[in-house]
Structure 1
């Protein structure tokens, strides 16, 4: 599943809880951030794949929103820098936070 599709799916699932101004803020910023993340599909030669997923607080009424980001990078250093910035989206538990080599294609 492409990274953009996965984020869209996670955000759509979260929308099943009541929409709120906080949710709209999270949704807008997550989509903007994912659009700026190098996609694996568009960069087949990039050797590193980063994954960060977890939960962020929506507001007191609707609870936590699941989020997931995936991107591909030319170096481990670029992947780690992205991964560290990406974790700032999560106010709840972080389920996955990794940069791994991509298999040769």
Structure 2
């Protein structure tokens, strides 16, 4: 009986951790991985920002920041991304980096 109880407790803990961790199949995770990070491109002249609500049950927020070589590259990243938000969009913009 003790062995079964320990197994159930361990399984419940694994389910809880899995529910909190970002899934690699999740589009938010994939988009973050594909976004050019500013720390990797410190001289990029354009910064793009997007934030909004994703999902429906439960709803959560997601935000992205990337640095790009041109406004065109930023808008090419931003266009498809802004269509992925399933609710309210807080910000979608590309600006010269100061």
Q: Structure 1: any 5+ residue segments left out of the alignment?
A: 1-18
Distance 2:81 2:31 in 1: 8
Q: Structure 2: any 5+ residue segments left out of the alignment?
A: 1-18
Larger radius of gyration: 2
Moved over 6 A (4+): none
Could you tell me the TM-score, scaled by structure 1's length? 0.67
Aligned residues: 79
- Mapping of 1:10-49 within 5 angstroms? 19=19, 28-49=26-47
1 or 2 for the larger relative contact order (CA 8 Å, sep ≥6)? 1
CA RMSD of aligned residues (A): 2.1
Distance 1:91 1:49 in 2: 23
Name the SS for the 1:54 alignment partner.
strand
Could you tell me the TM-score, scaled by structure 2's length? 0.71
1:100 aligns with 2:98: no
